[in-house]
Amino acid sequence: MTDKSVVTTDIAIIGGGTVGSALALGIAKRTEFDTTVIDANSLDTSEGHPGFDARVIALSRRTVEELRDIGADVIEADAAPIHFIQVSDKGAAGLCQLESREFELDAFGHVIALSELGAMLSCAVSKTAVNRLENTTVRAVHREQETVTLTLSDDTSLTAKLVVLADGGRSSLGEQLGFERITHSYDQVAVICNVSMSLPHNNKAYERFTADGPLAFLPFNTPADERGRHCFSVVWTVSPDQAVALESMPDHAFIRALQKAFGYRHGRIVKAGERTSYPLSLRQTDRLATHRVAVAGNAAQTLHPIAGQGFNLGLRDAMAMINCLHSVSDPGSYATLKNYTAERTGDREQTVWLTDTLVRSFSNQHFPLVAGRNLGLIAMDNLRTVQHAFVRQTTGYGPATTGTKNHAKS
């Protein structure tokens, strides 16, 4: 090609964060399509890509397995396995405890820093034929019958048969391409930090429901933990006013408030790290694909962090897209994108419903709901069928997920 201002590719992925990188890696491993990743930031993860921030995330068992299958093994990166889960309701009798070996699982999932996962994926993608354009934005989009043309910030024109938006919804491209974004604010804020406890984490995760929202403690392995495996990543859901107060507190006052909310079920909180926060809402596009364009990950939906489902749902978007591209000749054809939509709709709707219902049921003190949720926790602690349904969904193998493999045996 003589005109260097025009570039052609089969698939253009907008966004080089976790979902975009996983998608590019899987396409490179399992298809013959030429792929280009376009990102507005530097793809050097040491420079602090916003998609690879300081958060710690819980990867479901299915996510761990699928990442390993495309060449990103988080277990080798010393991600902390979750062997025990305790779910409780503050000030009430409801309590449920689950142990992975009781379901013939080596772990319910693994916990890893998003920055570490990002570095692993970025390194893996760099070893493939994927073309990566960093510090580059899309200025304009023009769709034709067989291709989509992107005008980039460096005045290059890139044509692709399929464009996948995996930019977390940060840009306005979705709206330009006809995706309507429906947003519902929960009027809650997630306060996030890492803490060190007096007792080792023992691979135990906690989800504690309070009047304001859920409080999650996730076991976390870090080289900075000089005392051994004592670290947890905390996601504390509170009201906006409480979030402002918590962020402004000195460390000792914050630790005291957090200890009061969590209790002493895992010893004392010895140290708390830097606190960050972000408002919580349910955001989702009205569709998953239009003509030669699809959305995946947070560009498609952003969920409340309760039960840790949002990130795993986004990774399942990427894996479903990879599967849909495996044996097709035109990655952006109507049939391909129709198949992708069909593969993702049931899982998406069920997971959105589950997280939204949990938020509404466990973020208030209305007596009938308090009584109902406590009966639910007691039932889950005692009824194997209820436990198995919960484990299947949270490990990524619920009945509406694509390519379901029931690894949580009865």
* Chain mean position to CA 259: 27
Domains along the sequence of the chain with CATH: 6-182+281-394 (3.50.50.60)
Q: Does residue 319 contact residue 26 with C-beta atoms inside 8 Å?
A: yes
Reference 85, options 379, 327, 334, 390; nearest CA is 390
Which pLDDT does position 5 carry in this prediction?
Answer: 73
Q: Which of 53, 58, 52 lies closest to 111, judged by CA?
A: 58
pLDDT of residue 166: 97
Are the beta carbons of 362 and 214 closer than 8 angstroms? yes
Q: Helix (H, G, I), strand (E, B), or coil: what is residue 392?
A: helix
Residue 61 and residue 108 in contact, taking contact as beta carbons nearer than 8 Å: yes
Give the integer Cα–Cα distance in Å for 267 and 250: 21
As a whole number of angstroms, the distance between CA 407 and CA 392 comes to: 8
Would you say 248 and 165 are in contact if contact means Cβ atoms under 8 Å apart? Answer: no
pLDDT, residue 311, reads 92
Residues in the chain: 410
Strand order in the sheet with 56-60: 56-60, 109-113, 80-82
Tokens standing for residue 237: 């859901």
Q: Which of 158, 167, 144, 198 lies closest to 34 in space, CA to CA? A: 158
Tell me how far apart the alpha carbons of residues 79 and 199 are, in angstroms, rounded to a whole number.
Answer: 19
Is 200 in contact with 226 (CB distance < 8 Å)? no
Give residue 88's pLDDT.
Answer: 83
Cα 104 from Cα 410, distance rounded (Å)? 9
Q: Are 113 and 19 in contact (CB under 8 A)?
A: no
Using one digit for the tens of pLDDT, what is the confidence trace for 68-86? Answer: 999 999 998 889 999 999 9
Per DSSP, the three-state class of 289 is strand
CB-neighbour burial class of residue 17 (10 A; exposed 0-12, middle 13-18, buried 19+): buried
User: What are the residues whose beta carbons fall under 8 Å from the beta carbon of 102, sequence distance 6 or more?
Assistant: none
Sequence-distant contacts of 176-181: CB under 8 A, at least 24 apart: 176/141, 177/141, 177/143, 177/290, 177/293, 178/290, 179/285, 179/286, 179/287, 179/290, 179/295, 180/285, 180/286, 181/283, 181/284, 181/285, 181/286
Which three-class secondary structure state does DSSP give residue 94?
Answer: coil
Q: Please write the tens of the pLDDT for every residue from 264-296.
A: 989 999 999 999 999 999 999 999 999 999 999
Q: How confident is the chain (410 residues) per 10-residue block, as mean pLDDT? A: 72 96 97 97 63 73 95 91 88 75 92 90 95 95 97 95 94 92 94 94 91 88 76 94 96 96 93 93 96 97 90 96 96 98 95 86 51 47 61 71 44
Instruction: Give bridge partners of residue 183 from the DSSP assignment.
Output: 283
pLDDT for 369:
44
Pairing of strands 231-238, 181-197: antiparallel
What are the start-end ranges of the H helices in 136-285? 173-176, 240-248, 251-262
Residue 296 CA to residue 26 CA, distance in Å, equals: 14
pLDDT score, position 115: 85
Contacts of 380 (CB under 8 A, 6+ apart): 87, 96, 386, 387, 390
Q: What is the pLDDT of residue 400?
A: 62
